[in-house]
C-alpha cells in the first residue's frame, strides 16, 4: 500500500541526504526548535544522547529526569516507535522498561525476536510528557530530527508504530490504531505496521478471538514471517 502522498509531519531522509551542510553548528541543536537537525548529524546514539540530555527544543526538557533515547540493537532489522517515555522510562533513561515494556519483551520473545539482535526501540519524543499525556504536535515536531536520525542510523527494514503520534507522524495516517493495526504500509524500502501499544493490552486482558491480545498475536506472527521473508531474499 503506497502512501507517498500521506507523509505529513516527518519527511524521511534519503541516503544521499546523509551529510550535514558545512556551516551547520551542532551546538545550536539543544537551544532552539527553529534550528533543524540535518541528516548526518549523528554517527552514534551516544552522540545523540549527549545532545538530548541538554536539549530544550520544547518545554519537556525542563521537567525530565533523563532523556530517553533507545534500547536494543543499532543494527536491528525491526524498529519499534512509541509515543513518549513514562515515569519508569524517565527514571531509568530507557524506553519501554515498565510493565508495558515487560509485556512488549514477552511478545517479542514469543516469536523469537531478540532485543539484543533483532529490535531497536525508541519514542517519538525523548522526554516524558507530564502525567504521561500524549505528546503535542509541537513537541513531536521539535523532536522529529532525533527520530529521523535514528531511522537513518539503524536503517530498519520494518518499523512498528505504537500509538497515534507515531502513526500520524511517520505515515500521515489519522485513523486510530484499532482501525489500521496489522496493515502493512510501504514507504521507500521500508515496511510499516501499526500495532497496539502494550499499555492498551494491559487494559484489555482477554485472549479470546478478536480481542486485542489475540489480534496482537496475529500481528507479531505476521511481523516475524515478513522478517523471515526479507532475510530469505
Percent of the chain with pLDDT over 90: 77
pTM: 0.88
Asked if the model's pLDDT at residue 68 lies above 90, the reply is yes
Q: Which of 173, 126, 156 is nearest to 9 (CA)?
A: 173
- If you search the block for the grid coordinates 526479507, which residue do you land on? 230
Q: pLDDT band for position 116 (50/70/90)?
A: very high
Asked if the model's pLDDT at residue 16 lies above 70, the reply is no
Taking a C-beta distance cutoff of 8 angstroms, is the pair 214, 107 a contact? no
Q: How far apart (Å, rounded) are the C-alpha atoms in residues 184 and 192? A: 6
Asked if the model's pLDDT at residue 218 lies above 60, the reply is yes
Percent of the chain with pLDDT over 70: 89
Residue 58: CB partners within 8 Å, gap ≥ 6? 33, 125, 127, 138, 139, 142, 143
Q: What domains sit in the chain, N to C, each tagged with a CATH number?
A: 16-231 (3.40.470.10)
Average pLDDT over residues 33-44: 89
pLDDT at res. 21: 55
Taking a C-beta distance cutoff of 8 angstroms, is the pair 172, 185 a contact? no
Asked if the model's pLDDT at residue 43 lies above 70, the reply is yes
Q: pLDDT band for position 50 (50/70/90)?
A: very high
The larger pLDDT score, comparing residue 164 to residue 133, is at: 133
Taking a C-beta distance cutoff of 8 angstroms, is the pair 131, 164 a contact? no
Asked if the model's pLDDT at residue 6 lies above 70, the reply is no
Between β-strands 185-187 and 158-162, what pairing exists: parallel, antiparallel or unpaired?
unpaired
Amino acid at each position: 500500500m503506497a502512501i507517498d502522498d500521506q507523509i505529513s509531519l516527518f519527511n524521511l531522509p534519503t541516503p544521499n541526504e546523509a551529510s550535514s551542510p558545512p556551516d551547520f553548528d551542532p551546538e545550536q541543536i539543544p537551544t532552539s526548535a527553529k534550528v533543524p537537525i540535518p541528516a548526518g548529524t549523528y554517527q552514534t546514539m551516544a552522540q545523540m544522547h549527549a545532545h538530548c540530555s541538554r536539549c530544550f527544543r520544547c518545554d519537556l526538557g525542563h521537567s525530565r529526569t533523563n532523556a530517553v533515547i533507545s534500547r536494543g540493537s543499532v543494527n536491528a532489522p525491526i524498529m519499534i516507535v512509541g509515543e513518549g517515555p513514562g515515569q519508569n522510562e524517565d527514571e531509568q533513561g530507557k524506553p519501554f522498561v515498565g510493565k508495558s515494556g515487560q509485556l512488549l519483551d514477552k511478545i517479542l520473545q514469543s516469536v523469537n525476536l531478540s532485543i539484543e539482535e533483532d529490535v531497536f526501540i525508541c519514542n517519538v519524543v525523548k522526554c516524558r510528557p507530564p502525567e504521561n499525556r500524549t505528546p503535542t504536535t509541537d513537541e513531536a515536531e521539535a523532536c522529529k530530527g532525533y527520530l529521523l536520525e535514528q531511522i537513518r542510523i539503524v536503517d530498519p527494514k520494518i518499523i512498528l508504530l505504537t500509538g497515534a503520534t507515531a502513526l500520524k507522524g511517520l505515515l500521515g495516517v489519522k485513523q486510530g490504531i484499532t482501525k489500521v493495526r496489522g496493515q502493512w504500509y510501504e514507504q521507500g524500502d521500508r515496511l510499516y505496521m501499526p500495532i497496539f501499544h502494550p499499555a492498551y493490552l494491559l487494559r484489555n486482558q482477554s485472549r479470546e478471538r478478536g480481542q486485542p491480545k489475540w489480534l496482537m498475536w496475529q500481528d507479531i506472527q505476521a511481523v516475524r514471517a515478513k522478517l523471515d521473508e526479507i532475510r530469505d531474499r
